[in-house]
Chain A
Amino acid sequence: MSEAPQPLAARQALPRWTALIPVGLLTIILVFFAKGLTLDPHALPTMMVDRPMPAFELQPISDEIPNLSPDKLRGRVTLVNVFGSWCVSCVAEHPILMDISRAGIVEVHGVDWRDTPRDGSAWLARYGNPYSSAGLDADSRLAIDLGVTGAPETFLVDANGRIRYKQIGPITPEIWDDTLLPMIRLLEQEAT
């Protein structure tokens, strides 16, 4: 029985570097986890950028507010803001839309999403109307066509009616100064 089993000999038959394979695999997995687990799961892909604004037809909100129609988004750079009277963040965003509208930097148009004419017009009467025109999207037709997942969302539309940027969530002063305003200036130059 001199030929006793030699487990260690069998293991040592593998080249030493193969011991690093599991370590390498673990490192790769950890890199994936480190990246994957720090991503924002609420960040959604944006499909609509660089596509033409979809065709749409909205209901009027009230007699005083001009209804938004596709022709209003042609020939100049515009912002299309998706809001709703039920939307809490829209109230937070509202003052900056008023400022933009008052300063006359760019036309702001509104899509009153999943709302009623009564609630929508009451909301605009209460906080003020920053919109050159606004229409009601009660059954989400335009919202789904735009890939909207929540309000507020704002689309920057160029003079050719093409969506060039999508802002998810309220426009903050930083986003306005650092992103939207420079893009608007650029698109206006492009148009002339």
Chain B
Amino acid sequence: MRLAVIIFLLALAGQAVLARAQEQPAGTYSVELEAEAREVGKSLRCVVCQNQSIEDSAAPLAADMRQLVRERLAAGESPDQVRAFMTNRYGNFVLLRPPLQLDTLFLWFGPGLFILCAGACWWIYLRPQATHPEPAAPLTQDEVQRLRVHLLDDASE
């Protein structure tokens, strides 16, 4: 069973390597640029497979996009400029992390809003104190005295 899993994982890895093999050989770009390009690539959606980043995707278009990202970075563009280049052509859809803007406010803050609502409902309907609305009045001097007598009695028995 374990062997089967290992073979399966190796086959997957092999696929990824094959997909990469057609690209620029290692060493074409500096290590820093390569790292930067991977960061950018991870933030860009592969428009063919849709739920993978172009860094993870084996689609031919993703390979061409990776190449383009590297070339634009090598030409001196910043990661944000490269992302803007892609957004300009494919829309915000191409960004795996949606930008914070007017039409994405609900997307970003919706979950928090729901948690707040849930908290409010809990506070109003279910909080434990709600079943004991009247706080007990403080003990009078007399009651304290009587209590003390009882407690001392118990202790001396």
Contacts and interface: CB of A to CB of B under 8 A. Distances in A.
Tell me if chain B binds chain A: yes
Contact of B89 (A5, A10, A147): A147
Contact of B91 (A5, A25, A45, A144): A45
A143 B121 CA distance: 52
Contacts of B50: 41-42
A149 B90 contact: yes
B131 A47 contact: no
A39 to B, nearest CB: 13
B89 A140 contact: no
Contacts of B88: 47
B48 to A, nearest CB: 6
A10 B130 contact: yes
A7 B86 CA distance: 59
B89 A18 contact: no
A146 B90 CA distance: 8
Nearest to A25: B117
B2 interface: no
B131 A14 contact: no
A139 B121 CA distance: 56
A140 B47 contact: no
A44 B90 contact: yes
A144 B64 contact: yes
B134 A3 contact: yes
Interface residues of A, number: 31
A114 B60 CA distance: 8
Contacts of B29: none
Contact of A149 (B47, B125, B131): B47
Given A11-B125, A47-B90, A149-B90, A144 B65 contact: yes
Given A7-B131, A9-B133, A150-B48, A145 B89 contact: yes
B61 A44 contact: no
Given A5-B131, A6-B133, A10-B130, A47 B64 contact: no
A41 B93 CA distance: 11
A5 B132 contact: yes
B35 to A, nearest CB: 22
A108 to B, nearest CB: 23
A25 B117 CA distance: 9
Interface of B: 47-48, 50, 60-61, 64-65, 67-68, 86, 88-93, 117, 121, 124-125, 130-134
By Cβ-Cβ distance, the 9 closest A-B pairs, closest first, are A140-B64, A45-B91, A147-B89, A149-B47, A7-B131, A10-B133, A10-B130, A47-B91, A5-B132
24 contacts: A5-B132, A5-B133, A6-B133, A7-B130, A7-B131, A10-B130, A11-B125, A11-B130, A14-B124, A21-B121, A22-B121, A44-B90, A44-B93, A45-B92, A45-B93, A46-B91, A47-B89, A47-B91, A139-B64, A140-B60, A141-B68, A143-B61, A145-B89, A149-B61
Interface of A: 3, 5-7, 9-11, 13-14, 18, 21-22, 25, 41-42, 44-48, 114, 139-141, 143-147, 149-150
